[in-house]
Each structure stands twice: as structure tokens, then as C-alpha cells.
Structure 1
Amino acid sequence: MKSDILNHFDTIAEVFNRIWYFSEEYKNFVIRHIHHDLALTSDDTLVDIGGGTGTFTRRLKDESGAIKAYCVEPSRPMCDEAEKLENITALCMDAHTFMSTEIPFSKLLLKEVIHHIDNRERFWQRVYYQLPDRGKLLIITRPQHTAFPLFTSAKAAFARNQPPYELFESQLKACGFDVISAKRSHTFTLPKEHWHEMLRHRFMSDLGIFSDEEIEEGINEIDGIYSEETIDIIDNLIFITATKQNGKPV
């Protein structure tokens, strides 16, 4: 993960859970599909790469009864928050460093982080090698053109940083994984001031390039489009599930 991305998450670690709080319904929506796609059971060891403050990691561990759950997070302040949670193990390292530890696992989650991992082909090969037969990984990502109510230059920055999901599919298939993708959408409503706060805190790393003045200009642009006191947030997500099949070569 690039150092500028790490520095961005370092600065928002203490407020991350609050500013990323969309709604309980939204969190339930995402968690439900993670359980389904990874087929989490009490026999699993889960690794959550880029798990941030560990809130999703802990909930997945508690609800599935998994043997163990690791929150792997390269930002030290974010990992410090995850270390406060019970029932999960927080490791301050990046994705490649974690793979070099050869810690065994059966399920791997990459929620909204895959575009931050470099040398992905090598990463996929190592994951394939270390997964047991029928082990799974799940990528949760977004299309290049987001439906979030962002200002124009923020949407352009998002598109530049977001590889097409088809690239991930082809890389995984090349390693020998069986791959299934599903597009799912969830709409929820926030008070506009809450959305403004999220933007000011640069809740997405793509917003880290903008100055305070540019963020305020962007908020004014958004307010010119959305006149109500609340704002609808449409989150289009792509869930890519890759399964290691018994007998298939790497």
C-alpha cells in the first residue's frame, strides 16, 4: 500500500468508525453477503486484509463462530483501534507481508482495499498456494463510475484510482481460481450535514488529494444539485468470490 494512502488513514483513524457509519441496515446488508459468499463456518480461520479498525472482522468472527480472525491493517493508528477489540487478532502489516508469514487461513476478505495492493498477480499466486482446497477469497469493490453524490473532480479521482473489476476476475482465473461475481446495490439516506462531515474528513482515500478549500467548493457544488436536508446514497458494490478447487494447478 502506498505511503500517501497510509498517511491518509493515519489521520482519520480516531474518527473512522464514526465518519464511515452509514446505517445499521447498510452494515447488515454487507455483512450478510460476506457470510453468504465466503460461506463462513465455525471451522474457518478468517483473514480480513485492510480490515481498518476491525469492526467488520469482529462481527464476522462473532457471528460465524470462526476458529480465529485476523484483522490485517498497515496503518498503525487504525490497527491500534482494532487491537482494542476482543476475539480478533490485529496485525499491523500490509498484504504481502502477511502472506510471507505463512499464517494458515481458509477464508480471506478484501473489502474495498484491492485497488491499494500492488503486484497483485504475485499476491494472488501466494493466496492460491496457501489456501486449502475449497478455500475462498472475497473481493468487495466498486465500479469505476461511482453513484455516490460526490463533486465532479472527486468522481474523476475515484475513477482514476479504481481498476475495472474485470481485471481482478481475469487475474484470479489465471491463477486457477473458480470465480463468481455479483453486482449488488444498496440505497440509504443520510442527513446532508453528516455527508458533509464525511467529505470534510475525507472518508475515502480518493479525497485525500483535495485541500480544505477544494472540499468546501465541492460541498457547495453538491448542495447546488441536492436541495433537501437529506441526501440519498446509492452504493453499487461488486462481490467477486474466488474458490480454490481441488486438483487444479496453480
Structure 2
Amino acid sequence: MTDRTAEHYERVAADYDEHWSYDPDYVRRFADAITDSLRLTSSDAIADVGCGTGLYTRRIAETVRPTRPILCVDPVPAMLERLPRQSDLQPLVAGAEDLATGVVPLPDGDRLDAVVMKESIHHVGDRRTTLDGLAGLLSRHGRMLVVMLPRTIDHPLFREAHERFAQLQPETSEIVETLRASGLRTSVSYRTFHTTIDRQRYVRLLEARYLSVLGEFSEDELREGIAQFRHAYRDEPVLRFDEHFAFVKGWVAPG
């Protein structure tokens, strides 16, 4: 994660959860999709790498009821400070790279049965080394899930934001190939989440830079982008769009 990205999350941490309060069911459905994809059980040692405030991790914990705390890994202290203080969530200030390379070791020194990386892989600089290192932390029945958007998204953003997002986002095929090179078997599935939101509320989300790509723009650039957005969607008081996610799964081959 770059310093600029870390600064972005430091700024938005206090209001981060409120960005998604317009549709609590969205969080539930997404967390349940992660739980289902990884087939999480209460006995699994789970790590959510790049968990942010733990918005989705909390729901996973409610559903799975793990016997060991879910390790909530994030490099931004301000985000982890928003994590609820509960026995089934264990915060760890670290980046994915730190955990993968052993700069920050696993607290109990044990192996992980499941690793979740939801919409955080694009923040990782050396993805090959990082994913290989995380794969090396898996138990003999371990699995890893990388959830990511495609380079072209349907979010109602302004043109420059779409272009910048495409530049920063890796291809799904790159992640699949990297996991395979790490010795994992892989599969890819696709999930679509429908979103409906009032236009004026969405403007406030843009102003709050609710997507990390918006942190790439200066105040003047963002103001101009929002003006473009207002003009483009001036006749749509309610916005409806689909979010298409790739669920890239890797798991340790038996034997």
C-alpha cells in the first residue's frame, strides 16, 4: 500500500462504515457470499487481510461463530480502531506484504485455514511475492479467496475516475496465474450485487471519496469530476447499478 493510499484510509476511517449504512443488507449478502465460497467453519483459523474496519468480518464472525478469533489484518491503525472490541475479532496492524514475508508474524505462529482478501489486492505492490507468501501460511486444508472488481466497472463515476481505476486494477487472470504459481489449485466464480441509492446521497459518497480510487484526485479534480457526474445523471434521482465481482479461490492440493 502506498503512502497516498494509507493517508486516504486514515482520512475516511471515522466515517467509513456510514458509507454503507444506506443498505445494510448489501454487507450481509456480501459477507455471506464470502463465507459460502470458502466454506468457513467454526474450527477454521481465519484471517481477513485488508479488513479495514471489519465491516464484513463482523458479519462473517456472527455467521461462523469461530472458536478462535478471526485475525483482522490492516496496515492503517485508524481503520482497525473502528473494529469492535469483541472476543472473536483480533486486530493486527500489518500490510499483506508484511504478513506474507514474515515481517509481522502470525500471533500464534500457527497455520491459517482460510485467508480472505476482499477488494485489497490492487493495493499490493509485489502481488506475486505477497500471494506466494500468504499461500505458504496455509494449513494442509487451507484456502484463500481474493475478491476483486474487473477493470471496467458500472459504478456511476466520472470519466477520469473510470480511467484511473482501470489503470490501477489488476486483471483477474493475473491473480489466478499467481495463485497457481504458488502451488494452489484455483477456481473463479462471479457474483453480481445490485445497488440502489439516492443520487444526492451518492454525491456525498463521492465527496467523501468512498472508493479508494477517488483518493487519487486533488480537491479541484474531484470537484470537477462531481460536476461532470451531476450533469450526466441530472435526470436520475435514484441510481441503480450492478457490481460484478470475481471470486478467485485458491486451495492447497491434497497429498
Q: What TM-score comes out, normalization by structure 2 length?
A: 0.92
Distance 1:83 1:93, change over 3 A: farther
Which AA in structure 2 matches 1:44?
D
- Name which of 211, 235, 249 aligns with 1:241: 249
Which AA in structure 2 matches 1:172?
L
Contact 2:48 2:117 in 1 (8 A): yes
Cα offsets for 1:116-170 (capped at 9, x unmatched): 1122222222222221122111011000011100000000010010011110000
Q: Partner of 2:45 in structure 1?
A: 45
Q: Partner of 1:65 in structure 2?
A: 65
- Name which of 187, 195, 198 aligns with 1:188: 195
| Larger deviation, residues 14-23 vs 42-51 | 14-23
CA shift, 1:86, in A, is 4.8
Secondary structure of 2:140's aligned partner: coil
Which AA in structure 2 matches 1:206?
V
Contact 2:179 2:186 in 1 (8 A): yes
Identity of aligned residues (%): 26
CA shift, 1:65, in A, is 1.5
Secondary structure of 2:41's aligned partner: coil
Which AA in structure 2 matches 1:26?
Y
Contact 1:58 1:69 in 2 (8 A): no
Cα offsets for 1:12-35 (capped at 9, x unmatched): 100000124451232222112101
Q: Partner of 1:157 in structure 2?
A: 164
- Counterpart CA distance in 2 for 1:22 and 1:236 is 19
Contact 1:20 1:203 in 2 (8 A): no
Secondary structure of 1:82's aligned partner: coil
Q: Partner of 1:98 in structure 2?
A: 99
| Larger deviation, residues 116-125 vs 187-196 | 116-125
Q: Partner of 1:87 in structure 2?
A: 88
Secondary structure of 2:243's aligned partner: strand
- Counterpart CA distance in 2 for 1:29 and 1:62 is 13
> Which runs of 5 or more residues in structure 1 are unaligned?
none
1:1-250 mapped onto 2 (5 Å cutoff): 1-21=1-21, 23-67=23-67, 68-82=69-83, 84-99=85-100, 100=102, 101-102=105-106, 103-104=109-110, 105-226=112-233, 227-247=235-255
Secondary structure of 2:52's aligned partner: coil
- Counterpart CA distance in 2 for 1:73 and 1:124 is 16
Distance 1:21 1:161, change over 3 A: farther
Contact 1:188 1:232 in 2 (8 A): yes
Which AA in structure 2 matches 1:23?
D
Cα offsets for 1:77-125 (capped at 9, x unmatched): 1111115455201111111222310443210000000011122222222
- Counterpart CA distance in 2 for 1:33 and 1:61 is 13
- Counterpart CA distance in 2 for 1:213 and 1:21 is 27
User: Root-mean-square deviation (CA), in Å?
Assistant: 1.5
CA shift, 1:217, in A, is 2.1
| Larger deviation, residues 189-198 vs 124-133 | 124-133
Which AA in structure 2 matches 1:143?
P
- Counterpart CA distance in 1 for 2:88 and 2:244 is 31
CA shift, 1:232, in A, is 1.2
Contact 2:16 2:210 in 1 (8 A): yes
Q: What TM-score comes out, normalization by structure 1 length?
A: 0.93
Contact 1:83 1:89 in 2 (8 A): no
Aligned residues: 247
- Counterpart CA distance in 2 for 1:88 and 1:82 is 8
CA shift, 1:172, in A, is 0.6
| Larger deviation, residues 60-69 vs 141-150 | 60-69
Secondary structure of 2:250's aligned partner: strand
